[in-house]
A and B are shown apart, each in its own frame.
Chain A
Amino acid sequence: MDKAKFNAKGLLRNQQVILLVVLFAMAAFFTSQNSIFLTNAVFGNIISDWVPLVLIAIGETFVIISGGIDLSVGSAVGLSGIIAAFSMRYFTAHNMTDNLSLTLGLLISIGIGAVVGLVNGFLITKANMVPFVSTLVTLGAARGLCIVLTAGGPIADGPSNAIDLSVPKVGPFSYPGVAVLGLVIILGLFMHKARFGRYTFAIGSNAFAARSAGINVNRHLVKIYALSGALAGIAGMYFYLRLGVGSPTSGQSGELNAIAAVVIGGASLSGGVGKLLGTALGSLILVTVTSGLIIIGVAANWNQVVVAILIAAAVFSQGIRTLGKKNK
């Protein structure tokens, strides 16, 4: 690494540093408008919003770095959550202990999410459909199934202690939240320090080069979409814990928030470039804006406008920095 990078100009060229600055500036602004922002209750709420978003945004980061896009993550959240809810209702009705029931629910939720991802991977690599279309198909199919299976209503009567798990216990983090934080770190290492991530970057950077280097590109793409789906499955279970029921609308438009988080985090939609830390911070900024605007009393619909401005600003600043690099 270049030691000379640690000067002020260099720091501003670092997307993660900019994101941190933006995050602190927002927190300071919201606190100045309404001091209640700086409380554990608000932070707990922000983190509770962040956990499911960062899960699908990380899956989306792998997909986008590989040069693809996954529009189905939001629907995968919904479908995995309600299938898990149905299963846990069945387990509870058959006198299974809450903990075992929740564990199996989690595994089922991950499994359903992974199946959605595998279908994406199959459509992309075997049916030669572009990722946008493949995942648009599964977006519709999975969300449609959610409504059909539930008739639009929530699926209750699961383990009674489910909702307790979503309560903050470690600072603003609930226990599942801590587990997800650990998972984020592990996935970051897999992205930036392990072969799995290296192949992901290589495929997004030049698929021909990856293929001629002997990498099984199709198999790796299937794994990436399956990972994205599995992470959506965990998010589906997390929504279940938070609501105490399986809701057919959980994760709705989550794919757009995930893509927004990835883009704000500095990944390139043309593939080959991105950082997991960027996505983690990008998603944190999104949920902070949402909570902050509510707390300072701005009408909820302004949220979308602010997010849109953030996306534009992130992409614009990337353009400036890339230009600076080329001129050097």
Chain B
Amino acid sequence: MTSQTPIYEARNISKSYGSVDALVGVNLKIHAGEVVGLVGDNGAGKSTLVKCLSGAHQPTSGQMLLDGKEVEWKTPHEAIEAGIETLYQESGLAPDLSVSSNVFLGREELVKGPLGRLGFLAQKSMDKKAHEDLERVGIAVPASNRAVSQLSGGQRQAVAIGRAVSWASKIIILDEPTNHLGARQAGEVLNIIERVKSEGFGVIFISHTLPHVLQVTDRVAVLRLGRLVADKPTSEFNSETLLGTITGLIGE
């Protein structure tokens, strides 16, 4: 797997806000069908790196390559168009809308003909496709025309991931997807991530919950004070060495 061209690669990325160096020369590779864990203490630069990768911010220097070709995002929308979906910590769902309306939000299917040109929606088709897309990654949602506000926290997170999966073509970035979830619901989300991985996506998994990281990732990249301090297969870590690397007790 590692011999292939990475599906997404960050080379020597630095980002400064004024005189503060949030990221210094970070390298990261994500392959198709691989889950890469991104961990680090608060202020280590995880969010900044995610924002660069998702197009929300532009790095001060460094390169990003998608399928081996250099890319530059001016807006998050450009990254989305290129096949990179990001699930932010802040909820990306509209609770008053139905499951399928959320899955298709911003990319609604329109009916054919002149009514479609006026913006009329092909709701039935979207309901059906949303249901199929969610099932594909093992998400069982009672009815795709149900309002998201009537779902449990775990179901909502599942829909959010399902939404990302149904639109991403290459990379899915998940920022703390198991936060605020109970053990069983978090387990369901981790199962979905396994399924997403087996569909051939590259997944970046950001989390503070180290057991989840050890369970679901293939490789872990550790950031500390804006620098990449470790990037190794998950099998080479256990919870103690991973925590030690994050806090800096190991590896200086």
A residues neighboring B (CB under 8 Å) = 1, 189-190, 193-196, 198, 201-202, 204-206, 208-210, 212-215, 272-273, 325
* Known contacts A202-B97, A208-B90; A213/B106 CB under 8 A: yes
Q: Which residue of A lies closest to B93 (CB)?
A: A209
- In angstroms, Cα B175 to Cα A212, docked, is 14
B73 at the interface (CB under 8 A from A): no
A-B contact pairs, 19 of them (CB 8 A): A189-B120, A194-B121, A195-B121, A198-B101, A198-B105, A201-B96, A202-B97, A202-B101, A204-B96, A205-B96, A208-B90, A209-B105, A212-B86, A213-B105, A213-B106, A214-B77, A214-B106, A214-B107, A272-B95
Kindly list chain A residues whose C-beta atoms are within 8 Å of the C-beta of B77: 214
Shortest distance between the CB of A7 and any CB in chain B (Å)? 19
- In angstroms, Cα B120 to Cα A213, docked, is 19
- In angstroms, Cα B88 to Cα A212, docked, is 9
B110 at the interface (CB under 8 A from A): yes
Shortest distance between the CB of B70 and any CB in chain A (Å)? 23
Shortest distance between the CB of A276 and any CB in chain B (Å)? 15
Kindly list chain B residues whose C-beta atoms are within 8 Å of the C-beta of A212: 76, 86, 88, 92
B145 at the interface (CB under 8 A from A): yes
Q: Does A272 contact B96, Cβ atoms closer than 8 Å?
A: yes
- In angstroms, Cα B95 to Cα A206, docked, is 7
Kindly list chain A residues whose C-beta atoms are within 8 Å of the C-beta of B150: 325
Kindly list chain B residues whose C-beta atoms are within 8 Å of the C-beta of A209: 91-94, 102, 105
Shortest distance between the CB of B129 and any CB in chain A (Å)? 16
Shortest distance between the CB of A219 and any CB in chain B (Å)? 13
Q: Does B95 contact A215, Cβ atoms closer than 8 Å?
A: no
Q: Does B97 contact A201, Cβ atoms closer than 8 Å?
A: yes
Shortest distance between the CB of A216 and any CB in chain B (Å)? 9
Sorted from nearest, which 7 A-B pairs have the closest CB atoms?
A: A213-B106, A272-B96, A205-B94, A205-B96, A195-B119, A213-B105, A214-B106
Kindly list chain A residues whose C-beta atoms are within 8 Å of the C-beta of B110: 195
Which of A190, A210, A272, A325 touches B105 (beta carbons < 8 Å)?
A: A210
Q: Which residue of A lies closest to B146 (CB)?
A: A2
- Interface of chain B: mostly helix, strand, loop or mixed: loop
B191 at the interface (CB under 8 A from A): no
Q: Does B94 contact A190, Cβ atoms closer than 8 Å?
A: no
Kindly list chain A residues whose C-beta atoms are within 8 Å of the C-beta of B86: 212
Could you give, for residues 73-113 of chain B, a 1 whenever the CB lies within 8 Å of some chain A CB and a 0 otherwise? 00011001000001010111111110001100111101000
Q: Does A213 contact B92, Cβ atoms closer than 8 Å?
A: yes
Kindly list chain B residues whose C-beta atoms are within 8 Å of the C-beta of A194: 118-121
Which of A195, A205, A273, A325 touches B108 (beta carbons < 8 Å)?
A: A195
B185 at the interface (CB under 8 A from A): no
Q: Does A208 contact B91, Cβ atoms closer than 8 Å?
A: yes
Shortest distance between the CB of B118 and any CB in chain A (Å)? 7
Kindly list chain B residues whose C-beta atoms are within 8 Å of the C-beta of A202: 94, 97, 101, 105
Which of B76, B95, B121, B145 touches A198 (beta carbons < 8 Å)?
A: B121
B123 at the interface (CB under 8 A from A): yes
- In angstroms, Cα B149 to Cα A273, docked, is 12
Q: Does B106 contact A206, Cβ atoms closer than 8 Å?
A: no
Kindly list chain B residues whose C-beta atoms are within 8 Å of the C-beta of A195: 108, 110, 119-121
Kindly list chain A residues whose C-beta atoms are within 8 Å of the C-beta of B107: 213-214
CB proximity to A under 8 Å, residues B147-178: 150
Q: Which residue of B lies closest to A202 (CB)?
A: B94
Kindly list chain B residues whose C-beta atoms are within 8 Å of the C-beta of A193: 120-121, 123
Q: Which residue of B lies closest to A215 (CB)?
A: B106
Q: Which residue of A lies closest to B75 (CB)?
A: A214
Shortest distance between the CB of A311 and any CB in chain B (Å)? 22
Shortest distance between the CB of A305 and any CB in chain B (Å)? 33
- In angstroms, Cα B77 to Cα A78, docked, is 42
Shortest distance between the CB of B124 and any CB in chain A (Å)? 11
Q: Does A201 contact B119, Cβ atoms closer than 8 Å?
A: no
* Known contacts A202-B105, A215-B106; A210/B94 CB under 8 A: yes
- In angstroms, Cα B101 to Cα A196, docked, is 13
Kindly list chain B residues whose C-beta atoms are within 8 Å of the C-beta of A272: 94-97
Kindly list chain A residues whose C-beta atoms are within 8 Å of the C-beta of B76: 212
Q: Does B91 contact A205, Cβ atoms closer than 8 Å?
A: no
- In angstroms, Cα B102 to Cα A213, docked, is 9
* Known contacts A189-B120, A212-B88; A198/B108 CB under 8 A: yes
- In angstroms, Cα B94 to Cα A325, docked, is 18
Q: Which residue of B lies closest to A274 (CB)?
A: B96
Which of A189, A205, A214, A325 touches B97 (beta carbons < 8 Å)?
A: A205
* Known contacts A195-B110, A210-B105, A214-B80; A205/B121 CB under 8 A: no
Q: Which residue of A lies closest to B81 (CB)?
A: A214
Kindly list chain A residues whose C-beta atoms are within 8 Å of the C-beta of B108: 195, 198
Kindly list chain A residues whose C-beta atoms are within 8 Å of the C-beta of B105: 198, 202, 209-210, 213, 215
Shortest distance between the CB of A5 and any CB in chain B (Å)? 12
- In angstroms, Cα B106 to Cα A193, docked, is 15
